[in-house]
A and B are shown apart, each in its own frame.
Chain A
Amino acid sequence: MKSKRYRDPVVEAYMPGVDRTLLRENLKLTCEDRARKHSRALDMVLELRRAGRAIRERNRANERRS
């Protein structure tokens, strides 16, 4: 008989929120493809961060001028 693996109740509470469709798609890929896919996502996150920083700086500059 298989024993059920112990899971922290807090972790258990997060489980329904996990998007398994993303995991299943990733599991179809090779390790290298998973790394490349992550790299593209990371580039996008960094670009969004950069854009957000630029907007905040522009807003601050506008506030100082007004």
Chain B
Amino acid sequence: MSADLEQVIPPLVEAAIDFILIGGKAAILLGSARVTFDTDIVYDRSKANLEKISRLLKPLSPYLRGAPPGLPFVLDVPTLRNGLNFTLTTRLGDLDLLGEVTGGGTYKQLLPRTFVVEAFGVKFRCVDLPTLIKLKRAAGRPKDLESIAELEALLEETSRQQPGN
């Protein structure tokens, strides 16, 4: 199941969860023309935030994406605390919860490299374009090379549109 931003983001914001949108969906908001399926967020690892994530997602049947059915997986606070990065299917769609991201670090470390997006009646943080490129490069996945090229082109187009250039 894919994750539509309009379905995923407002519940996260309404639950007052501290998160930053990264990955392909962040690229979409920044102007990318590529189609992407899951939603990647970097979440704050504070106890209060883990509680909010668990409270929101627990009723939405979260399960480890690609894992065989029937595992005793419960997305509660101890699970979140003992793990770090979770690739999940939920009733809201596929959602990747990342406690830390290669090249960007934790939620708090990434925070200065974000901007506020107003969409779907809510405000949330999204990683900025230069940082998204950095994260994609740091991930070192061959499948990202084409998408990095597109993001680099976006960066050129964006700076061309800014006054003074």
Contacts and interface: CB of A to CB of B under 8 A. Distances in A.
A39 B5 contact: yes
Interface residues on B, range: 20 to 34
Contacts of A38: 5, 25, 28, 35-36
Contacts of A26: 31-33
Given A20-B153, A41-B35, A32 B120 contact: yes
A15 B126 CA distance: 24
B118 A8 contact: no
Among B5, B37, B118, B158, the one with the most A-chain Cβ atoms within 10 Å of its Cβ is: B5
Interface in B25-49: 25, 28-29, 31-33, 35-37
B2 interface: yes
B157 A35 contact: no
A4 B150 CA distance: 17
A34 B148 contact: no
Interface residue SS majority, chain A: helix
A8 B150 contact: no
A22 interface: yes
B52 interface: no
Interface residues of A, number: 29
Contacts of B157: 20, 23-24, 27
Contacts of B74: none
Interface string B95-137: 0000000000000000000000111100000100000000001
Interface of B: 2, 4-6, 25, 28-29, 31-33, 35-37, 117-120, 126, 137, 145-146, 148-150, 152-155, 157-158, 161
Given A8-B137, A18-B150, A39-B5, 13 more contacts: A5-B155, A14-B145, A20-B153, A20-B157, A23-B33, A23-B153, A31-B126, A32-B118, A32-B120, A34-B28, A34-B31, A38-B28, A41-B35
Shortest Cβ-Cβ A-B pairs, 6 listed: A14-B149, A32-B119, A22-B33, A26-B31, A18-B153, A38-B28
